[in-house]
Structure 1
Amino acid sequence: MSITRLARLASGSGPLVGLPRMAAVSLCPRRLHAPSDERRSGTRFDADSSGRPTTWDSFGIWDNRIDEPILLPSSIRYGKPIPKVSLSKVGCASLIGRRKENEDRFRLSQINNNLIYFAVFDGHGGPGAADFCHRYMETFIKDLVADEGNLEVVLTRAFLEVDSALAENLQHSFDEPGANAGTTATVALLRDGIELVVASVGDSRAMLCRKGKALKLTVDHTPERKDEKDRIKRSGGFITWNSLGQSNVNGRLAMTRSIGDFDLKDMGVIAEPETKRVSLSHVHDSFLALTTDGINFIMNSQEICNVINQCHDPKEAAQRISEQALQYGSEDNSTIMVVPFGAWGKHTSSDSGFSFSRSFVSSGRWA
């Protein structure tokens, strides 16, 4: 493929049809072997001798910090350049904090040629439920996606089927320790590098950084939500508050949806997730972050977004966020996954923001 055609593809000018099929072609200027007299400083050069320098920012890759090829079939299908998301570039970190055991789990994998899976699970009452989801959620999704094209339907059915399978697995051990364990679940599927679908139960979160701002993709399932509280009460459950003012279902569970927690299923605690679908804009979207409440309770979404935007790569970002949460006073397991997109490195901020939760912890009222 010629430099001219690549440049036009990256800048958004010229048709995408008729391009040869291949797995991926890099559009990063440092990997284009243009003649020396066509090169310019930074990320601009007059590739097609039109007198107008090509601006690679129109593709979204900023400052060459994430050097990824494009997915040519997807780019042709959607009519715009779509960068490949490589699992090797994803940053993950999970710290035990001051707990005796780390009950958080995370997983990422390539489901098939055009579908990637990302997930975090925050177990409670023992790691059993989180371990089960970590092991089998991906398998259920893989089986369902073979026959169902709607990813929101796939994720909803996968959550419910995993919950049922866990119940069946525990049906003869309800009197054993950990038999009533449960877990949050926040799962994201990325199809064709552009269709992002997220499903969640509990209070682990998914957040998209768009134009430097945090865009929440999930809403916590807690008794503080009127719709959630009303369902619990209609089902015969009740809400109590602890000494810190935190609400709990039947005095035990801080969330109203989860996988597991079978002793509270009749009280309105359900495994059906809420889902959200987003079409990515790699010119504006920098990353997806999945986090457990060891981070969420101590750092707000915009603060997390700002800190990540100060980091050189996603692996450094994940490590810094997990460590910073502990430094700020979190005693819980702290897990984060950072998935870079086309605009990685484009938006930076020196504003660390303000977290009410951190102020609350600093006052000495942490339980």
Structure 2
Amino acid sequence: MSTAALLTLVRSGGNQVRRRVLLRARGLQDDRWVTPTCHSSTSEPRWSRFDSDGSGRPATWDNFGIWDNRLEEPILLPPSIKYGKPIPKVSLQNVGSASQIGKRKENEDRFGFAQLTNEILYFAVYDGHGGPAAADFCHTHMEKCILDLLPKEENLETVLTLAFLEIDKTFARHAHLSADATLLTSGTTATVALLRDGIELVIASVGDSRAILCRKGKPMKLTIDHTPERKDEKERIKKCGGFVAWNSLGQPHVNGRLAMTRSLGDLDLKTSGVIAEPETKRIKLHHADDSFLVLTTDGINFMVNSQEICDFVNQCHDPNEAAHAVTEQAIQYGTEDNTTAVVVPFGAWGKYKNSEITFSFSRSFASSGRWA
């Protein structure tokens, strides 16, 4: 797409943009209308954003490479010119979130999302264990730590890695200076996403909270759980002098205590190979195909698989409803853990739906034994 055509698309503000603007930029001719929204004076015909030419054929942003997601967000001009295709703005107002205590005495999950700079958005979930202290610390300080690193480092994967390590060191200093000895055994998972220019998505994660991208209605896992079941993780634990023991449910734990091999906090297990260095992943969004990013804690992940999460979210009208639907579904399936979900809508929001979702009473009954 030429810069001139892109400028025309954005300046129109969604009002009476003809497809011929783009086609002429390529030396083609086409008289069909495509832009969804049109506001006109009383002397001009009024156009519907779903039927711009009155032909009965709905018009969508697919013609421009993104879907008409009904969120009515503007196009980001500088990134669209930079990448040569329209990039819709991801607004924090449309981000959905939900967190439920389940049957636990306390909700140790934390989550957050924020606009860090004009170009970068932040989304995160933290699942605390051994008390909420470590999750609270990350929730309070991670944003500022990332902000301090951004002017010094262009690579967002490096930024997140440095931020995780710095937060872990800072929490260790805080815990050792505190009179509260329980801080030494408090820890948390951390799954943090940064979105730059509405198109560059970078994920960093420790523990077993997850990030899933829904592309063409199918889940794309952006994180891998850090558990002793992974051969590489188990070998590191053993090399550092730690050991893996299985509980009565057949679940492996580091030194018989921790179900994950990487975390923030858990200071008493640092010498046993539990590290704070995250695994990272970078991906370029395709707004014509990508519906949403969802961050979830293990109270959801142990009960609802990735495809089911995509299907539940795709049935919902808005991301906030979707976040609540996912957390509540996990509870219906039998989880007793805290459940937290953050849903970030992208260009293809509402494009892929699956009407064949059924509730499994047998799984719900069977899964209840997991927490016995």
Whether TM-score is above 0.5 comes out as: yes
Distance 1:264 1:14, change over 3 A: farther
Q: Deviations over 1:273-316 (max 9, x none)?
A: 00000000100000000000010010001100000000000010
Matched, 1:200 2:200: no
Matched, 1:30 2:60: no
**What is the 5 A alignment of 1:7-156?**
7-8=18-19, 13=23, 29-31=36-38, 33=40, 39=47, 42-43=50-51, 45=53, 55-59=60-64, 62=67, 64-156=69-161
Note if contact 2:17-2:35 (Cα within 8 Å) is conserved in structure 1: no
**What is the 5 A alignment of 1:338-349?**
338-349=343-354
Note if contact 1:117-1:190 (Cα within 8 Å) is conserved in structure 2: yes
Root mean square deviation, CA, Å: 2.9
Matched, 1:276 2:281: yes
Note if contact 1:304-1:321 (Cα within 8 Å) is conserved in structure 2: yes
Q: Deviations over 1:15-38 (max 9, x none)?
A: 69xxxxxxxxxx962355499658
1:246 match:
251
Local SS of the residue matching 2:75 = strand
Range moving further from structure 2, 171-180 or 214-223: 171-180
Instruction: Note the residue ranges of structure 1 that are not aligned, 5 or more in a row.
Output: 17-26
Note if contact 2:19-2:35 (Cα within 8 Å) is conserved in structure 1: no
Letter in 2 for 1:114: E
Residue 45 of structure 1 deviates from its aligned partner by: 3.7
Given candidates 298, 315, 338, the residue that maps to 1:310 is 315
Residue 363 of structure 1 deviates from its aligned partner by: 6.2
Note if contact 1:97-1:331 (Cα within 8 Å) is conserved in structure 2: yes
2:232 match:
227
Q: Deviations over 1:149-168 (max 9, x none)?
A: 10000000000000000001
Residue 172 of structure 1 deviates from its aligned partner by: 2.9
Counterparts of 1:282 and 1:142 in 2: how far apart (Å)?
26
Note if contact 1:46-1:54 (Cα within 8 Å) is conserved in structure 2: no
Residue 61 of structure 1 deviates from its aligned partner by: 5.6
Letter in 2 for 1:306: D
Counterparts of 1:194 and 1:5 in 2: how far apart (Å)?
26
Residue 179 of structure 1 deviates from its aligned partner by: 2.6
Counterparts of 1:77 and 1:41 in 2: how far apart (Å)?
27
Distance 1:165 1:76, change over 3 A: same
Letter in 2 for 1:313: D
Counterparts of 1:198 and 1:41 in 2: how far apart (Å)?
35
Note if contact 1:314-1:340 (Cα within 8 Å) is conserved in structure 2: yes
With the length of structure 2 as denominator, give the TM-score of the two structures. Answer: 0.87
Counterparts of 2:279 and 2:155 in 1: how far apart (Å)?
14
Q: Deviations over 1:55-114 (max 9, x none)?
A: 522346645522211111111111111000010100000000000000000010000001
Note if contact 1:302-1:353 (Cα within 8 Å) is conserved in structure 2: no
Given candidates 294, 300, 312, the residue that maps to 2:299 is 294
Q: Percent identity?
A: 64
2:185 match:
180
Counterparts of 1:78 and 1:63 in 2: how far apart (Å)?
19
Counterparts of 1:186 and 1:358 in 2: how far apart (Å)?
28
Residue 12 of structure 1 deviates from its aligned partner by: 6.2
Counterparts of 1:184 and 1:311 in 2: how far apart (Å)?
28
Local SS of the residue matching 2:82 = helix
Residue 46 of structure 1 deviates from its aligned partner by: 9.4
Q: Deviations over 1:156-198 (max 9, x none)?
A: 0000000000001111347622332000000000000000000
1:24 match:
none
**What is the 5 A alignment of 1:256-271?**
256-271=261-276
Counterparts of 1:336 and 1:96 in 2: how far apart (Å)?
12
Residue 42 of structure 1 deviates from its aligned partner by: 2.8
Letter in 1 for 2:281: K
